[in-house]
Structure 1
Amino acid sequence: MSKTNSPAADFPDPRVKANIPAAGAVLWRYADDGAVEIALVHRPKYDDWSLPKGKLDPGETSLVAAVREVAEETGIRSRLGRYLGHVTYPVTGHRKLKRVDYWAAQILGGSFESNAEVDVLQWHRTDGLMDALSYPMDRHMVRNFLRLPADTATLLLVRHAKAGRHDHSDSADDERPLEKAGRAQARALTANLLAFGADEIHSAPPLRCVQTVTPLAEAVGVDIELEPQFSESGYAAAPDAARKRLRDLVSAQSVPVICSQGKVIPDLLQWWADKDGVTLPSARNRKGSVWVLSVHQGRLVAADHIDRALTPVDHSTLGK
């Protein structure tokens, strides 16, 4: 796993398109006294202190890469939470830009061992953390992390993958299966949802919703719990019941996935966002996309939409 140099400038040449995708994380844990600590890694090649990060492997998404890079550099298993943004900077000696997408990542287990790229890992409390980092862009990501509480619960809201058009099908609407492209989307979703620690699966009853999360259920080894209130007909009949059920599913002990439909998700999310004062990012809510909802003490504090990031990067086209 080769690395290029780290941020050398805050304002890269706008004429150069970012063509080296990478991903990283603000990896955090609780100290014995309950304080939040953040992991910094030392790379002897550059003699710097930075957040764990690295380039995407061929066919890999930034979500999966972030979890893998944390594990490879630190020996620690983690699960992603809030999206923190991205940085873009020139690669020393090349007319290229690297883009690094960052997530919050909570430690699940494992321990550090010195390796070829990282010889030291240090856990820092927020006091003095900024001075310890070598690069301003890493400080920017840490500030984004610190703007909200660290201990957010995650809920993943998925729009079902592509299904055949209703007017092209002899099946009843609820029995419409995924088409070939939709089945590929469902398979691709699995690794990305697992990056967030998905371990509990719920779905509206329509077949295309259930089929979207079936590969994930098989990977995790759990059953899919049907939730009629998240279907279009169920939501239209009793929106308040669906809203209450959504909030009731939030848990500090698990990461639920809910697969629903296009006429449910926007209204359901807008209601929650308006209630708790969250501004939703602009999103097309395309089939197979995911909303990552971060909740603190029952209150929605962040909503991140993941669409194109779920598509593996084709490295052969970068820079063309």
Structure 2
Amino acid sequence: MTETAVYAAGGVVWRILDGKLRVLLITRTRYRDLTLPKGKVDPGETLAETAVREIREETGLRVALGVPVGVSRYVMPTGREKIVHYWAAEASDAAVRATTFAPNKEVASVEWTSVKKARERLSYPVDLEILDAFAALVERGVLRTFPILALRHAKAKSRDDWDGADSARPLSSRGRRQANAIVGPLLAFGVRRIVSSPAERCIRTVMPLSAVLARRVDRTELLSQDAWDDGLSDPRTIIDARVRARKPVVLCSHGPVMPDIISELALATGTMPGSYLGNSSTLDTAAFSVVHLSVDNPGAGIVAIETHDPKI
């Protein structure tokens, strides 16, 4: 992020209503314009967290992020550039029933409309570009997706400062901060299950998330660095099971294992290899890549892949 630009995030919120696709538009109270829900990043917040929070604040809907659908850029009246990141986000029937929206000083109303009518009525060309990217997902038949998140463990105590087994090496103070900081970004993608290497540094990385979800951590040596060092790791077995399950999951492992996890995701989904896969597997501590797959046809290839790094 640059120091001068203003960053924001939001989403194209969608649902199937009476068998038809509908997207959600908001009318802002002050400007009386019709736009997509979005808002500025709060201090210490990641873009993914911002998108989920702003959608909830402006529409009353609790959503999980799907596929990224683009970035809009424009110059504000102050002369500063504004950069807005968008994701597709499905509003479940339960979320719609539980909505808490009421007209307020920021948003006068919300409405569900077809993509065609949204194109005709949106107030800004930059919103139309985002809507067009969303429509392309619809045309490809890959709008409904699920994520598999490949997470590298948080910063561990240095090997030079540790006399025990490497698998028992604990997190450093920075690593503990990282473990807490990534809870929000991981939750933004609707994670409900955690699979991890049994190494102490991996388990401690996902324990804050486990506590928030009230879900246990599934431990497996197949993702461990000890097994990888011995040529015995087996990410393929884990990946095949998670692709078949078609549910959001985070896989916590080690730097050397990450390329194998991403490669196996590509193989399991019939995705053509490329340099982008390598970039998505070269992760700093506590960073993660989100691999979006089609719910209806996960073997059709990776729909999108994105990488997040909290920079703690």
Give the AA of the match of 1:237: G
Give the corresponding residue for 2:186. Answer: 193
Alpha-carbon contact 2:235-2:264 (below 8 Å) kept: no
- 1:17 Cα deviation (Å)? 6.4
- 1:238 Cα deviation (Å)? 4.7
- 1:81 Cα deviation (Å)? 1.7
Alignment pair present for 1:242 and 2:228: no
Give the corresponding residue for 1:292. Answer: 290
Give the corresponding residue for 2:203. Answer: 210
Give the corresponding residue for 2:126. Answer: 137
Alignment pair present for 1:22 and 2:11: no
- 1:125 Cα deviation (Å)? 2.1
Distance 1:247 1:49, change over 3 A: farther
- 1:203 Cα deviation (Å)? 0.5
Distance 1:251 1:63, change over 3 A: farther
Query: Secondary structure of 1:127's partner?
Result: helix
Alpha-carbon contact 1:175-1:206 (below 8 Å) kept: yes
Alpha-carbon contact 2:235-2:260 (below 8 Å) kept: no
Give the corresponding residue for 1:4. Answer: none
- 1:186 Cα deviation (Å)? 0.4
Query: Secondary structure of 2:284's partner?
Result: coil
Following the alignment from structure 2 to structure 1, what is the Cα–Cα distance between the partners of residues 4 and 114?
A: 33
- 1:76 Cα deviation (Å)? 0.8
Alpha-carbon contact 2:29-2:104 (below 8 Å) kept: no
Give the corresponding residue for 1:38. Answer: 23
User: Where does 1:80-159 land on structure 2 (aligned, <5 Å)?
Assistant: 80-92=65-77, 94-108=78-92, 109=95, 110-111=98-99, 112-148=101-137, 149-159=142-152
Cα deviation digits, residues 153-180 of structure 1 (max 9, x gap): 1121111011122233112111111101
Following the alignment from structure 1 to structure 2, what is the Cα–Cα distance between the partners of residues 209 and 295?
A: 25
Q: How many residues align?
A: 292
Alpha-carbon contact 1:202-1:257 (below 8 Å) kept: yes
Following the alignment from structure 2 to structure 1, what is the Cα–Cα distance between the partners of residues 243 and 251?
A: 11
Match for residue 57 of structure 2 among 43, 60, 72: 72
Cα deviation digits, residues 138-163 of structure 1 (max 9, x gap): 12222222333210011211110111
- 1:73 Cα deviation (Å)? 0.8
Give the AA of the match of 1:229: L
Distance 1:32 1:306, change over 3 A: same
Deviation larger for 197-206 or 282-291:
282-291
What TM-score do you get using the length of structure 2 for normalisation? 0.86
Give the corresponding residue for 1:318. Answer: none
Cα deviation digits, residues 261-311 of structure 1 (max 9, x gap): 11111232134336323652635411110111111122332211112xx24
Following the alignment from structure 1 to structure 2, what is the Cα–Cα distance between the partners of residues 24 and 175?
A: 40
Alpha-carbon contact 2:289-2:306 (below 8 Å) kept: yes
Following the alignment from structure 1 to structure 2, what is the Cα–Cα distance between the partners of residues 243 and 143?
A: 35
Gaps of 5+ in 1: 1-15, 313-320
Distance 1:250 1:36, change over 3 A: farther
Alpha-carbon contact 2:198-2:220 (below 8 Å) kept: yes
Deviation larger for 228-237 or 102-111:
228-237
- Structure that is richer in helix per residue: 2
Gaps of 5+ in 2: none
Query: Secondary structure of 1:147's partner?
Result: helix
Give the AA of the match of 1:217: S
Query: Secondary structure of 2:88's partner?
Result: strand
Give the corresponding residue for 2:177. Answer: 184
Give the corresponding residue for 1:8. Answer: none
Query: Secondary structure of 1:264's partner?
Result: helix
Query: Secondary structure of 1:77's partner?
Result: coil
Give the AA of the match of 1:305: T
Alpha-carbon contact 1:250-1:256 (below 8 Å) kept: no
Distance 1:17 1:213, change over 3 A: closer
